Amino acid sequence: MKTTILHLLAAILLPAALHAAEARKPNILIIVADDLGYGELTVQGFTKDIPTPQIDSIAQNGTRFTSGYVSGPYCSPTRAALLTGRYQQRFGHEFNPGPAPKPEVKFGLDLTQKTLGDRLKSVGYATAWIGKSHLGYDPEFHPLKRGFDYYFGFLGGAHSYLDLDRDGRDPIQRNGKPVEQLDYLTEELGREASGFIEKNKDRPWLTYLAFNAVHAPLQATEKYLSRFPNITDPKRKSFAGLLSGLDDAVGVVLAKLRETGQEENTLIFFISDNGGPTPSTTSGNGPLRGFKAQTWEGGVRVPWIVQWKGKVPAGKVDDRPVIQIDILPTALAAAGIEPDAGAKLDGVNLLPYLKGEKTEPPHDAICWRFGQQIAIRKGDWKLVKGAGEGLPRGNSGGVANTEGAHLYNLAKDIGEKENLAEKEPAKFKELAAAWDEWNKGNIPPKWLPGDGGPRRGNQVAAAPGAKAAAAKGPWKSGDTLGRDESPKVASHGLAITAQIESASPKGVILAQGGGANGYALFVHDGKLAFAVRAKRELTVVTASSALEAGSHKVSAELTPEGKVTLSVDGHVVGEGKAGTVPVQPGEGLTVGGDGNNSVGEYEAPNDFSGKVTNANVIIR
């Protein structure tokens, strides 16, 4: 009798338990790397010098998209689009802002836009935002006001990995309160995400894990550096340490999923926010042309991986183009949520494509607008107007159009080498018309780089509201010149002079150009230094003695033959050799700091710690 009753209870309760398990909504884990190039993960097949087994495991257990894109070629716009499922140009979030604490314009993720956090929280999800924000500094833009229950991270675009005080204007915070002690930041972010996953294992959750690795500064601890004894280039070795630390932190999170029995019920996305800024960090984009802040493939095509065990095929490679705005509708579909009628999402639910229910490409076309740079991919064809083809890097205003764009067949020419615009006029016209139609749904950018605070973008002309410097010096801190107004330094010697005043001298005094070609006079580790970039190769000449506090006249002279002489108050303090800048730099001149694309091995803008006056550049 007892056995019969137990069997009856089991027959009643077991299906109910199984149904409850099946009915639980899946967890959503979104992992975003910062400035990680298309070619860097070992699973991508282009490099092997930095193993990434933990991130690779996501691809081995899921689907890797080899034509995975982001809608912006740098940080903030990509994140705005990811969290809303809409092209950021629809609501004016086209560019990065200035630095913390407060831009002069009202920068932030448009408050009329619902985030993925808003949407999942409304149906009972626990929501956490761990890491970088870069979507607004004012209280109304804080992650805790944008649909997230828990926040640990920083609000700006970059942060030291080791030093809390270095970024005092933008502290690491936990739910709005500054953190008083910092271990290695990449490890901290992994632990915070794991802790949230552990705490909420009995309910569905969303974890948006936005690492700042592998963004500059190139700071790695000995624990990670010691793994790469065969890498002799200091910059590459530091980058390797950063990437290895990122891989470890991702492994910590994945291990927590397995430990708590949540792996099969968690939909995981892994992407980078843009292509690698190769000249400044060595983050490589494999066979792709271009870098971060460019609409060439190297700026917008990124590692793009999805895992959902038992739902998404394991070990699959898919070449159909997808984009990060697909993450939100895919996550909503997994959670059984229908977007509201007014959502106007641009992204696509990828689940039917991942499961093989749909075999066609998810998108008819994918589009970009970044200042005057534009692009559209339609099938194997790409129409692009990118940096270096008569255009600035793109982080400036100006009217975007398809006139003069290049045309490439990416199936045959992934490196965008053979421009087919003249050979294929019908295809050019087709893609140009499609881009124009897409652009009709966009609005002008609500701010331009340089609108906010002391960070100066590499604009062609001064941003609205900013005061452009006279084309001829002398200049002072805060003055900027566009590319066309800047000194014509190509293949010439030059002499820089400036009056500086600082109680603790450090930072950039004057710079022109960026990571490809340019020069900068700056103070590093207390010593005056002069950097020259020539076809991405960097040469630095440093003074032999420290620069004392106070007021000084400083100068750097580069002769046409390549001799460098550094002087302070008329006394020679350093000498060396460096080639001249071979071509006119694509970026303009800034005084008292560098632009977004730094000349030297420092993190832009690296503002000077005091005043710069009476600065001038004389061409020899």
Residue with the two structure tokens 């969290």: 83
Strand partners, 480: 590
Q: Is the pLDDT of residue 20 over 50?
A: no
Helices (H) and strands (E) in the chain, counts: 12, 27
Q: What is the pLDDT of residue 207?
A: 98
* Mean pLDDT comparison of 17-21, 217-221, 457-461, highest-scoring range: 217-221
Both tokens of 249, joined, read 């932190």
Mean pLDDT of the chain, nearest integer: 90
Q: CATH 3.40.720.10: which residues of the chain?
A: 31-354
Contacts of 552 (CB under 8 A, 6+ apart): 499, 500, 501, 568, 569
pTM of the model: 0.74
59 — phi, psi (to 5°)?
-70, -40
Q: Is the pLDDT of residue 463 over 60?
A: no
Both tokens of 506, joined, read 């450090």
Q: Residues 130-149: pLDDT tens digits? A: 999 999 999 999 999 999 99
Long-range contacts of the stretch 9-18 (C-beta < 8 A, 24+): none
Q: CATH 3.30.1120.10: which residues of the chain?
A: 366-439
- Alpha helices per DSSP H over 285-403: 297-300, 327-334, 351-354
Query: CATH 2.60.120.200: does it fit domain 480-619?
Result: yes
Contacts of 83 (CB under 8 A, 6+ apart): 109, 115, 116, 117, 135, 146, 208, 328
Query: CATH 3.20.20.70: does it fit domain 31-354?
Result: no
Closest CA to 90 of 70, 62, 112, 107: 112
Q: CATH 2.60.120.200: which residues of the chain?
A: 480-619
CB 459 within 8 A of CB 586: no
**Top-confidence residue, 117 or 535:** 117
Q: How far apart are CA 243 and CA 302, in angstroms?
A: 15
Contacts of 391 (CB under 8 A, 6+ apart): 372, 373, 385
Residue 455 binned pLDDT confidence (cut-offs 50, 70, 90): very low
Q: What is the pLDDT of residue 164?
A: 79
> 366-439 — its CATH code?
3.30.1120.10
Mean pLDDT of 36-40: 98
Q: How far apart are CA 330 and CA 271, in angstroms?
A: 15
